Structure 1
Amino acid sequence: MEDSKVYRAHVLLLPYPSQGHINPMLQFSKRLASKGLKVTFAITLFISKSFSVPESFGSVRIETISDGYDEGGFAEAGSVHAYLQKMEVSGSKTLAEIITKHRSSSNPIGCIVYDPFIYWALDVGKKFGLVAAPFFTQACAVNYIYYLVHHGLLKLPIMETPVSIPGLPLLELTDMPSFIYDEEQYPAYFEMLLNQFSNSDKADFALVNTFYNLESEAVDSMSKFFSFLTIGPTIPSFYLDNRVENDKDYGLNLYKLDTSICTNWLNTKPERSVVLVSFGSMVCLSNEQMKELAWGLKQSNFYFLWVVRPSEEPKLPEQFVEEIADKGLLVEWCPQLEILSNKALGCFFSHAGWNSTIEALSLEVPMIVMPQWTDQPTNAKCVESIWKVGIRVRVDEDGIVKREEIEHCIREMMEGEKGNEMRKNSRKWRELAIKAVSEGGTTDKNIDEFVSKLI
C-alpha cells in the first residue's frame, strides 16, 4: 500500500489560493517528489470543489484546508482584509488537522513550505515542531525591496530619485513596485506583502522562485540580510530539462481551457509571425487603454493572439472582432506554455507578471512589457535594462499607452534590429535556465540542499 511505503521525508506545501501562486509551488512539489520525498499539496476547499481537483497530481497528493469561504472563495469575502483575517482563523485550524492526521502514519509531516502571504502557517508548523520555509513567488529583486521597506532600511515616501539599492540598477519611482510609489493604492495588499517578513526570522530557511544567474547581484545583496535558496525557474520539466516524468503542464488550472482553438490557429501561421498578448488573471485595463491596445494591435498588421477575459470584453471597440478576423484571434484563456513554445510565436506582449516573465525567459521568447501594478514595474525594468530581452512601452502624461506606441513597439520587436538583439539575448537566458535545473545546476543543487536538511 502507498501509505506503508517509507519516504525520505514528508513535506506539506501550502500556496496562497490564486493561480499565480499555486502554479510555481505545485511545480516545486513535483521536483521534490522526483527526489523521493512524500509530498502533500494543500489547497482550499473552495478550489477543490469548484474545479474538480483530483486526489493527486502524479506523486503529489492533494489535501484541503478551509479559508473560511468554502462556497465562494475570495469573491465571497468582500475585501482583502476580511479574506485574510478569516483565512488565518479557519486555515490555522484545518492546517493543524492535516498535520495531526499524519502524525501517527509511517510518514509524518516533517516540513511545511508555505506562501509567506499566509505567514501564520509558520506559527502552526512550529507548534508541531516542523521544519518551516516560506516560498517567495516573486522575483528576488522585488522581495529585496519589500524586505528593506519592512525593516526600515528603505524609508517611505521616497523623496529623491533615482533610488540606489545594492544589487539593482538605479531605479526611478516608476521602476519600483507600485505600492512603493503609491502607498494608498490597495493598502491591504501592501500590508500583506510587507507581512511576508513579519516572522520570517523564525523560519529555518527560505525559498525564492528565481535562479541564481538570472538575479545574481540581487541574490548576493539580499543574502547579506536574509538566508534563502533559489529554486526556480518553476515551470514544467518538459520545457526545460525533461527530468520529471510526465510533467508537461502545471496541472491545476482555475480556468477552463480548450487548447485546440489556440494551437490549431497558431499552426496555420508562419514561423515567428504572431504576437501573444496576455495580461494575466488580475489586470484590468481602463476602457481607453483597452481601445488603444486594440487599435495598436490592428495597425501593426501582424498576427496576434489576444487573451481577453470575459470581464474585459465590453471594453473592446465596436465591431473590433469582426474587423480583425483575418489577423487576430481573441480567446478567454490560453495554454500559455504551449503558445510560448510554438514556432509561430514572434514575441510576447505582457504585463510583466513574474510567472509570465520567467516562462518567456525560459522559452526564449522576447517581450514587450506594459506593467500595471504590484511587482510588474520592477520586473519590466529588469526585462529591458538588465536581461535585455524586451521593450517597455512608454506611457503618456495621462497614464495611457497610445496606439502609435504599441504599433511602434510591435514593429520594432517583430521586424527591427532591436528585436533580433532581444532574440539572441533570450536564447542565452533559456540556456542558463536549462542549466540551472539540470543535474548539478545551481537550482538542482539548491533543491538537493533543501532535501538534505530534511533527512
Structure 2
Amino acid sequence: MSNAAASPQHVAVLAFPYGTHAAPLIAIIRHLAHLSPDTHFSFLSTAASNAALFSVKNPANLTRRDVPEPPADGRHHSVVMTAFLSTAGEVFRKEVAEVEVEVGRRVTCLVTDAFFGFAAEMAAEMGVGWVAFWTAGPASLSAHFHTDLIREKVGSQGLGGLELDMLDFIPGMSKIRVHDIPSEVLGDINSGFPKALHQMARALPKANSVFINSFEALDPNITSDLNSKLHNFLNIGPLSLLINQPPSLDTHECLPWLDTQKPNSVAYISFGTVTAPPPLELVAIAEALEESQTPFLWSLKDHSRANLPDGFLDRTSELGKIVPWAPQVDILAHPSVGVFITHCGWNSVLEGVISGVPMIGRPFFGDQKINARVISDVLGIGGVIEGGTFTKSGLTDILEVILMGKSGGKMRERGEELKKAAREAVKEDGSSVRDLKVLLEQVNEVIN
C-alpha cells in the first residue's frame, strides 16, 4: 500500500438507511471531511435518509447521492430492510460508478455500514480499500463475528438449558449468556437478516479497518480479541465527546424542570425512536412511578399517552413530566437524574455511560439484550428488568435498589470511573484519538 499523493482521493460512503445506522456514520464522515479537506466524500443513502442527514450545514467536500429504495407498500419495516439488503450490492455498484462520473474522481476507498458484507468483494473488484463501521457495541459485534463458533458449540437453536450457558469460550464474553445474543446468530443463516449478518461476519477479516463508536477501556478484552482477528479494530468514541455536536433544542423545557429536582432523584425514561413497550407495560411503568413517588421525566410519543392509566397525568402533574421528545444527552448529564430506564440501544447505552448514570434495561430486539447484559453483569452500572417485561412490582423494586440502596451507590461509583475513562479516551493522546488518526490514514490510502 502507498499513500496517494498523485491524485485526489474520493471516498464513497455506503450507508444503511434504516434505524439509527446512518446518523452516526455521517457524523464521523463529516468530521473526517473537516480533517481531510482535499478528499471528496460521496455519501450514498436513500432520499428519505439523506434529507434528514443533510438538513444541517456540511463541508463542501461532502456531497450526497440518493439511491433507490424498495417500495414500502404497507409492508413491515423489517421486510423493507431485508429487501434493501437483498439488492444493495447491485444498487451500490451502479450508483458508485455514476458518482465517479458526477464528481470527476475515481473512488479510492469504500467506507460502509458493516451490514454490507458484499463490500469486501466490491472493493476487491475496484482495487480499493474497504473500511467498515459497526454501529452497535463491541459485545454484539463479537457475537456476530463468532457466529460459526457459537453455532458449533451450542447448536443452531440454543434450546433448553443451553440458553443460560455462558459464552466463556469467547474472550471478553464470559458473563454473556446464549440467551442474550442477537437472535440472528442462531437463526436461519440462509435467508434474510441472519444471512446478511453471517456474510458480514465472514467478510470483516477482509476489511482494512473495522471501527465502532466506543472506547477501548469499556471492553479491553473484546478489543484485544477482535484486534487479533481483524486488520485494524478501531474504537473512535464516544462520538458525542470526540466530535463537536450541534446544541440540542430543549423545546419542552426539560432542563428547567430538572433544575427544580433533588440530585440523583429523577428517573429518566426513553425507549428510542423505533420501539415502545406494549400498552400493559406502559401501565406498569406508570403505576410503579406513582406508587413509589419517584420523580420522572418520560419521553413518550403523544399517541402512547392514551395507554396510561386513567387520571395518571393529573395525579402526577407535580411529580413528573412527560414530553414527546427530549434532549437526551443534556438530560443524562443533569445532576438531578438518578437512573435511566432504556431499551438498551447502543447509542443510548453509551450516552448513559458517559454521563455516569445507572441504567435499567428493558431490551426488545437486535443487540439490545446483549447490551443490557453488559450494563448489568459486565460493567456493573445497572440492572435488567426481571423476566424481560415491566411489572409494577418489578420496576418498583429495582428503582428502590438503584435510587436508595447500596447497590445503586456502587453503580454510581463504577459509572463515574467509566465516565472519566471515556473522557481520557478523547484527549489529545487518548486511545480513541489515536484510533481516529489510523482511520483517517485508512480512508486516504490507495490500494492499487
Task: Report if TM-score (shorter chain) is over 0.5.
Answer: yes
In 2: Cα distance, 1:191 partner to 1:79 partner: 15
Kept in 1, the 8 Å contact 2:13–2:111? The answer is yes
Q: Counterpart in 1 of 2:173?
A: 168
In 2: Cα distance, 1:342 partner to 1:213 partner: 24
Deviations for 1:407-428, whole angstroms, at most 9, x for unmatched residues? Answer: 1211221222222111111111
In 2: Cα distance, 1:167 partner to 1:378 partner: 13
> Residues 248-263 of structure 1 correspond to what in structure 2 (within 5 A)?
248=246, 259-263=251-255
Give, in angstroms, the shift of residue 450 of structure 1. Answer: 2.3
In 2: Cα distance, 1:273 partner to 1:223 partner: 41
Match of 2:212 among 189, 208, 211: 208
Tell me, which stretches of 5 or more residues in structure 1 are unaligned? 1-5, 251-256
In 2: Cα distance, 1:230 partner to 1:90 partner: 28
Q: Counterpart in 2 of 1:115?
A: 113
Q: Counterpart in 2 of 1:66?
A: 67
Kept in 2, the 8 Å contact 1:68–1:87? The answer is no
Q: Counterpart in 1 of 2:407?
A: 418
> Residues 102-141 of structure 1 correspond to what in structure 2 (within 5 A)?
102-104=103-105, 109-141=107-139
Deviations for 1:172-229, whole angstroms, at most 9, x for unmatched residues? Answer: 3333224457x389x7333333232243343222223322111111122233333332
Q: Counterpart in 2 of 1:408?
A: 397
Q: Counterpart in 2 of 1:100?
A: 101
In 2: Cα distance, 1:372 partner to 1:365 partner: 21
SS, match of residue 277 in structure 1 = strand
In 1: Cα distance, 2:278 partner to 2:72 partner: 30
**Greater Cα shift, 264-273 or 362-371:** 264-273
Q: Counterpart in 1 of 2:83?
A: 82
Q: Counterpart in 2 of 1:42?
A: 44
Kept in 2, the 8 Å contact 1:56–1:62? The answer is no
Q: Does 1:379 align with 2:392?
A: no
When the two structures are aligned, how many residues end up with a matched partner?
A: 430
In 1: Cα distance, 2:69 partner to 2:433 partner: 37
Kept in 2, the 8 Å contact 1:67–1:86? The answer is no
Q: Counterpart amino acid of 2:66?
A: I
Q: Counterpart in 1 of 2:24?
A: 24
In 1: Cα distance, 2:117 partner to 2:66 partner: 15
Call closer, same or farther: CA 1:292–1:190 in 2, change over 3 Å: farther
In 1: Cα distance, 2:80 partner to 2:250 partner: 32
TM-score (norm: length of structure 1): 0.83
> Residues 353-368 of structure 1 correspond to what in structure 2 (within 5 A)?
353-368=345-360
Call closer, same or farther: CA 1:69–1:265 in 2, change over 3 Å: farther
Match of 1:293 among 280, 285, 297: 285
In 1: Cα distance, 2:402 partner to 2:61 partner: 40
Kept in 2, the 8 Å contact 1:102–1:109? The answer is no
Q: Counterpart amino acid of 2:16?
A: Y
In 1: Cα distance, 2:364 partner to 2:215 partner: 24
In 2: Cα distance, 1:45 partner to 1:36 partner: 26
Deviations for 1:327-348, whole angstroms, at most 9, x for unmatched residues? Answer: 2222222221121122222221
In 1: Cα distance, 2:399 partner to 2:59 partner: 40
Q: Percent identity?
A: 22
Kept in 1, the 8 Å contact 2:344–2:363? The answer is yes
In 2: Cα distance, 1:8 partner to 1:303 partner: 56
Give, in angstroms, the shift of residue 446 of structure 1. Answer: 1.3
Kept in 2, the 8 Å contact 1:28–1:234? The answer is no
Deviations for 1:256-307, whole angstroms, at most 9, x for unmatched residues? Answer: x763432333233333322111111222322222211221122221211112
Call closer, same or farther: CA 1:149–1:301 in 2, change over 3 Å: same
In 2: Cα distance, 1:423 partner to 1:101 partner: 53
Tell me, which stretches of 5 or more residues in structure 2 are unaligned? 1-5
Q: CA RMSD in A?
A: 3.2
Q: Does 1:322 align with 2:314?
A: yes
Q: Counterpart in 1 of 2:158?
A: 158
In 1: Cα distance, 2:236 partner to 2:107 partner: 24
Q: Counterpart in 2 of 1:431?
A: 420
Give, in angstroms, the shift of residue 20 of structure 1. Answer: 1.9
In 1: Cα distance, 2:229 partner to 2:172 partner: 13
Kept in 1, the 8 Å contact 2:50–2:66? The answer is no
In 1: Cα distance, 2:358 partner to 2:318 partner: 24
Kept in 2, the 8 Å contact 1:92–1:120? The answer is no
Structure ranking higher on relative contact order (CA contacts 8 Å, 6+ apart): 2
SS, match of residue 200 in structure 1 = helix
Kept in 2, the 8 Å contact 1:13–1:41? The answer is yes
Give, in angstroms, the shift of residue 379 of structure 1. Answer: 1.1
